[in-house]
Structure 1
């Protein structure tokens, strides 16, 4: 009986190996057709956590590869964050970091001021994107500024389509990404909220939220 079980297991392993070999061959065939490179327009949106985190993950990848990049924060500029502290202290030579927001709109309670700050951030963003030495530019929480019409989404889309250098990656984060932006993007990820500690009375914590 034990011998039969061993034989069956060996047969299962053989079938698995054959199946994986076929998958590998099919995958390699597909990958062989993917030869183009271009600067991507990347959108991280949705109600779930991780939008800015994903964007900073790519910024740190650029830093790790020695590729110049930049960050513009449209909303969170008033907050001290681990990402900003780390980049400014250790990687300022590779990554320019601009914190031009002053907090969420309900904190400032001054629409005219919010619009002015968002416009200032957008002007800096355009400058950084036009600079072809920057391989990637992260526009953190720009979707919030677009949602409240602090910046014209059509202007942003037109700029990305017509002025972004071909090989520059631009990452735009924030919930409620507008359809016009989603349409022009190359990669869109929606973070889905399944469960959040805030609902259980847990506040934002160092190393998780900031």
Structure 2
């Protein structure tokens, strides 16, 4: 065996030991709070990937779309006939289009009732609160209301929160926080969002 091969083998053995130790120490079983935040692309897409994964195991899943509900959504189109998936949509479009705080607040409160129902249902294995961070930022939802629902949800239920500028209290509560970092975005260079790729 060459020196390079020997070094590689030793390095991989050390890595395996570290991974095995982490696996052995992970003994707690419960639902998680995951946050996909940051200015980069892919927060909602990643959440839909997890929705697909959960549905693949026949788990019940709830998705609440607070912003993009009026947009076409390839993932929703593909999965909406699955009996284990329930989707609630705020359906007012982007707040910069509506420009009506009172109407947006009312619509948000209505769809939040669906979210609260999902968050209290022990049969719902995964709940996605898509773009809820904007609802908190604009004051359409109270952070304490959201925190209480998250804290009191069923023990086995996982929640994914998506959106930029996740509230610091939610970040503090979360088990996993992923920040999507924008390096370059095609839209900023005048390239239109592409069906089947961006939505």
The alpha-carbon deviation at position 16 of structure 1 amounts to: 1.1
Corresponding position of 1:5: none
TM-score by length of 1: 0.91
Picking from 88, 92, 109, the partner of 1:119 is: 109
> Structure 1 stretches (4+) deviating beyond 2 angstroms?
none
CA shift, 1:100, in A, is 2.0
Q: CA deviation at 1:50?
A: 0.6
> Residue 6 of structure 2: which of 14, 31, 48 is its match?
14
- Among candidates 163, 168, 177, match of residue 174 of structure 1: 163
In the TM superposition, what are the counterparts of 1:16-55 in structure 2 within 5 Å?
A: 16-55=8-47
Q: What's the CA shift for 1:127?
A: 0.2
Q: Distance in 1 between matches of 2:172 and 2:7?
A: 43
Match of residue 6 from structure 1: none
> In the aligned structure 1, how far is the partner of 2:90 from the partner of 2:3?
62
Residue 96 of structure 1 corresponds to which residue in structure 2?
A: 86
Aligned partners of 1:99, 1:39: CA distance in 2, in Å?
24
CA distance in 1, matches of 2:17, 2:34: 30
What residue in structure 2 maps to residue 191 of structure 1? 180
Provide the rounded CA distance (Å) in 1 between the counterparts of 2:65 and 2:160. Answer: 12
Corresponding residue number in structure 1 for 2:193? 204
Alpha-carbon contact 1:154-1:180 (below 8 Å) kept = no
**Partners of 2:131 and 2:119 in 1: CA distance:** 16
What's the CA shift string for 1:62-106, capped at 9, x where partnerless? 0111111111111111112101111113x2x11111222311111
Could you give the per-residue CA deviations for residues 151-179 of structure 1, whole angstroms, max 9, x where no partner exists?
00121112211x21111001111111111
**Is the radius of gyration larger for structure 1 or structure 2?**
1
1:22 & 1:179 partners in 2: Cα distance?
Answer: 36
- 1:65 maps to which residue? 57
Structure 2, gaps ≥5 residues long: none
Measured in 1, the distance between the counterparts of 2:16 and 2:86 equals 40
| Paired residues, number | 199
Q: Does 1:133 align with 2:92?
A: no
Q: How far did residue 148 of structure 1 move?
A: 0.4
In structure 2, C-alpha distance between the alignment counterparts of 1:46 and 1:145, rounded to whole Å: 16
Cα shift at 1:10: 1.6
Q: Deviation at 1:49? A: 0.5
Unaligned runs of 5+ in 1: 1-8
> Matched residues in 2 for 1:44 and 1:100: separation?
20
